[in-house]
Amino acid sequence: MISARSAARWHWKNPSVIPGFGLTLGFTLAYLTLIILIPLAALGWRSAALGWFDFFRLITDARTLGALKVSFSTALIAAVVNVVFGVITAWVLVRYDFPGRRVVDAIVDLPFAIPTAVAGIALTALYAPNGLIGSFLTPLGIKVAYTPIGIVIALIAIGLPFVVRTVQPVMQEISREVEEAAASLGANRFQTIFRVILPGLVPAILTGFALALARGIGEYGSVIFIAGNIPFVSEIAPLLIVIRLEEFDYGSATAIATIMLIISFLMLLLINVIQAWSRRRFGYEQ
Amino acid sequence: MEIRVEKIRKEFDLYPALHDVSLDIKSGELIALLGPSGSGKTTLLRLIAGLEQPTQGRIFFGNEDASYKSVQERNVGFVFQHYALFRHMTVAENVAFGLTVRPKAQRPPKAEIRRRALELLDMVQLSGLEKRFPNQLSGGQRQRVALARAMAIEPRVLLLDEPFGALDAKVRKELRRWLREFHDRTGHTTVFVTHDQEEALELADRVVVMSQGKIEQVGSSDDVYDRPNSPFVFSFIGESANLPVTVEGGAVFFHGAPTGLSAQRDGAARLFFRPQDVSLAQEGPCFTGPVTSSRRLAGTRIAEVELGSSDQPCHVEIEVPLDAAASNGSVLSFRPTRWKLFY
């Protein structure tokens, strides 16, 4: 009886032969505290010092709302676009062996490596009305650079590797047999892809989406060059924070940062909940 | 559904996996393709399914030439060694999949699909598990789901690729018996691939023994075990010993000594016999040699006897009565009672 009760008692950790639980957990917590929690707490502290009324007034300022809207909507659109093209890119890299596959595979990672400002300037040069691509789009009445479309393009470039790199390994593990089974049951290629392969990738796709979205919301370097930064039209929230800082308006900067943090946190939380549900739904966990 | 395989040749990157294989499968038969790995048995099964296209030759389903039909058009039930279930679908959805992907005109109504899925799950004895996901099932249960899923499309033939290969020994035996009953009940033409001869001999109406891309022998379990037609089949199925002999004037000689056996044709040959098909001899010409090791095997004793000259010894294993003096070093004399020569 006694042993049964003690076995059922809640433990800090399950007994394990793997050593170092205390040490590694301690390190993780200290590390996260130092580089993430303390700065965020300082942010919360500063915005709390504003008081509810001021905080509310600052975040409902028309220009702030405009910037938040630009930031979140462009990041959302870019993440959705990245999901579509990222999955296709991953598919091509996993399923086909063609000359230069490794090169293409390496190119996917480039947005991780190049300074975002460089990417932004390069894209601006391409899409500006007198640029290589922009000069073709302008006669059609399509303006990319210095509009929200430009922001979306910059965020697509920055976010692509997140989707590709999260989906690719999961796609690699799909066995041929599963596809052959679908075919032997009479499913055509289209049905096999949309009813058998893609549903199994949903958790990975959601992860990639969340990463690309988070990256897009916080992106600064590449966007400010291509956006044109017109208040209410193409001014992103991170830029507005910098502008407020340069005006020594620390309260306003803090408030914008805090509300971005809250919205981002809620969005990522929601994605995580959906993801946990889909993992269960798609049988990854019992 | 009868299946006729006519002179099928299959090459992978110019390396031939099957050489001109022909096989007739009768309607309602349970056939085992048996062979070591690399013998082409899985390739043959996949060709019948349409998962591979033949380099040459034709495959008939009944009178219909199915050689170049796609796997979708052939309407076969295929069961994979590792189940290949759709992990994001419940058991019921897995079973119903083949019906739900049919074109609208041929698709039964939803309620009917569900009824049939549940009926099939009942048939494979998995009622009540329809809402589970595949990874909540044991290996044996998963394989039965895979079978129910394959049966759902009312296949013309059921093809199983090492269906019990990934299961542990006990479940394997249970499922084997269960599959036999299932086959007797449904009467589907069934072809399964295995490298486990016990499984093939116990389960199949006819066994197709394959080696190196060719069919060595097709026959009942009794045929392939008792009347093997090639040295390969003799040594592959069951235990056997073989010795180099020469036949001269109707008598069989081993290392120049008469063995007491007689044969029709003269020349060099290999003598094959099973360990249990020997009798100990007291006198007359026979095989004689010292016992190098012996071990108890259930109700009998297996003795390894060294024959021939000491510079070129041949070791054979024979079954001896428990009371026979067969300790190491003692000398045994024996004569095969059933044997076969391959020239």
C-alpha B237/C-alpha B210 separation (Å) is: 11
* CA-to-CA dists, residue B57 to A218, B11, B54, B74, B122, angstroms: 62, 12, 7, 17, 40
Is the pLDDT reported for residue A137 higher than 60? yes
- How far from A247 is each of A240, A243, B26, B326, CA to CA, in Å? 10, 6, 89, 103
Average the pLDDT over B94-115 and give the result: 92
A180 touches B at CB < 8 Å: yes
Write the pLDDT tens digit of every residue in A26-54: 999 999 999 989 988 888 888 888 888 88
Q: How far apart are CA A241 and CA A254, in angstroms?
A: 8
Q: What is the pLDDT of residue B145?
A: 93
Delimiting residues of CATH 3.40.50.300 domain(s) in chain B: 3-235
Is B152 within 8 Å of chain A by CB? Answer: yes
Looking at the structure, give the CATH architecture of the domain made up of residues B240-342. Beta Barrel (2.40)
Separation in Å, CA of A5 to nearest CA in chain B: 28
Is B60 at the interface with chain A, CB within 8 A? Answer: no
* Interface-testing mutation among B47, B48, B88, B130, with chain A (most A C-beta atoms within 10 A): B88
Average the pLDDT over A246-261 and give the result.
Answer: 90
Q: What is the model's pLDDT at position A129?
A: 86
Q: Is A189 on the interface with B (CB under 8 A)?
A: no
Instruction: Check residue A10 and give its pLDDT.
Output: 66
Query: What is the C-alpha to C-alpha distance for residues B318 and B335, in angstroms, rounded to an integer?
Result: 10
**Per-residue pLDDT tens over the stretch B219-272:** 999 999 999 999 999 999 988 988 888 888 888 888 888 888 888 888 888 999
Give the model's confidence band at B333: pLDDT under 50 very low, under 70 low, under 90 confident, else very high.
confident
pLDDT at A70 over 80: yes
How far is residue A205 from each of residues A124, A158, A209, A257, B329, measured CA to CA in Å?
Answer: 29, 17, 6, 28, 71
Instruction: State whether B80 and A181 contact (CB < 8 Å).
Output: yes
Provide the pLDDT confidence category of residue B175 given band limits of 50, 70 and 90: confident
Per residue, the 3-state secondary structure of chain B, as one string, reads: CCEEEEEEEEEECCEEEEEEEEEEECCCCEEEEECCCCCCHHHHHHHHHCCCCCCEEEEEECCEECCCCCHHHHCEEEECCCCCCCCCCCHHHHHHHHHHCCCHHHCCCHHHHHHHHHHHHHHCCCCCCCCCCHHHCCHHHHHHHHHHHHHHCCCCEEEEECCCCCCCHHHHHHHHHHHHHHHHHHCCCEEEEECCHHHHHHHCCEEEEEECCEEEEEECHHHHHHCCCCHHHHHHCCCCEEEEEEEECCEEEECCEEEEEECCCCEEEEEEECCCCEEECCCCCCEEEEEEEEEEECCEEEEEEEECCCCCCEEEEEEECCCCCCCCCCEEEEEECCCEEEC
Nearest by CB: A200 against B72, B78, B87: B87
Q: How confident is the model at residue A4 (pLDDT cuts 50, 70, 90)?
A: very low
As a whole number, mean pLDDT of residues B25-45 equals 92
Q: Do A186 and B78 touch (CB under 8 A)?
A: no
pLDDT of residue A9: 63
ipTM for the whole complex:
0.82
- What the block records as the tokens of A269 is 């939380």
Q: Which residue of A has its CA nearest to B97?
A: A185
CB B19 within 8 A of CB B55: no
Confirm if B7 and B60 have CB atoms less than 8 A apart. no
| pLDDT tens digit sequence for B60-88 | 998 899 888 899 999 999 999 888 999 88
Q: How far apart are CA B201 and CA B181, in angstroms?
A: 15
Domains and CATH numbers, chain A: 58-281 (1.10.3720.10)
Whether pLDDT at A7 is above 80: no
pLDDT of residue B327: 76
| Minimum distance, in Å, between the CA of residue A177 and any CA atom of chain B | 6
| Confidence bin at B209 (pLDDT 50/70/90) | very high
Residue A159: the pLDDT is 92
pLDDT score for A1: 43
Average pLDDT of chain B is 89
Chain A closest-CA separation from residue B75 CA (Å): 7
Region B122-135 average pLDDT: 89
A202/B86 Cβ within 8 A: no
- Confidence class for position A154, pLDDT limits 50, 70, 90: very high
Architecture of domain B3-235: 3-Layer(aba) Sandwich (3.40)
Instruction: Characterise A232 by phi-psi region: left (phi > 0), alpha (psi -120 to 50), beta (else).
Output: left
Summary mean pLDDT of chain A: 87
Q: Is residue A75 very low, low, confident or very high in pLDDT (cuts 50, 70, 90)?
A: very high
A97 in contact with B, Cβ within 8 Å? no
Start and end residues for every CATH 2.40.50.140 domain found in chain B = 240-342
pLDDT tens for residues A157-197? 999 999 999 999 999 888 888 999 999 999 999 999 999 99
What is the reported pLDDT for A284? Answer: 62
Min Cα separation A21/chain B (Å): 29
pLDDT category of residue A286 using cuts at 50, 70 and 90: very low
Residue B229's CB: how many other CB atoms inside 10 A?
16
CB B105: neighbour CB atoms within 10 A?
A: 5
The partner residues of B8 in beta bridges, in order of sequence, read: B21
- Residues B295-332 pLDDT 10s: 888 788 888 988 887 778 888 898 888 877 777 778 88
Residues in a beta bridge with A46: none
Q: pTM score, two decimals?
A: 0.78
Interchain proximity A187–B101, CB inside 8 Å: yes
The lowest-confidence range among B72-76, B177-181, B281-285 is B281-285
The residue of chain B with its CA nearest to that of A196 is: B86
Q: Which residues of A touch B113 (CB under 8 A)?
A: none
Burial class of residue A54 (count of CB atoms within 10 Å of its CB; 0-12, 13-18, 19+): middle
Q: How confident is the model at residue A2 (pLDDT cuts 50, 70, 90)?
A: very low
State mean pLDDT over B161-165.
Answer: 88
Mean pLDDT on A273-282: 79
Instruction: For residue A13, name the pLDDT band (cuts at 50, 70, 90).
Output: low
**Candidates A174, A175, A178, A185, partner chain B, best to mutate (most B CBs within 10 A):** A185
Which residues on A lie below 8 Å from B149 (Cβ)? 181, 185
Nearest-CA neighbor of B39 among B211, B254, B280?
Answer: B211
Write the secondary structure of chain A as one string of H (helix), E (strand) and C (coil).
Answer: CHHHHHHHCCCCCCCCCCCCHHHHHHHHHHHHHHHHHHHHHHHHHHHHHHCHHHHHHHHCCHHHHHHHHHHHHHHHHHHHHHHHHHHHHHHHHHHCCCCCHHHHHHHHHHHHHCCHHHHHHHHHHHHCCCCCCHHHHHHHCCCCCCCHHHHHHHHHHHHHHHHHHHHHHHHHCCCHHHHHHHHHCCCCHHHHHHHHHHHHHHHHHHHHHHHHHHHHHHCCHHHHHHHCCCCCCCCCHHHHHHHHHHCCCHHHHHHHHHHHHHHHHHHHHHHHHHHHHHHHHCCCCC
Contacts of A157 (CB under 8 A, 6+ apart): A111, A119, A123, A222
The total number of residues shown for chain B amounts to: 343
C-alpha B50/C-alpha A24 separation (Å) is 54
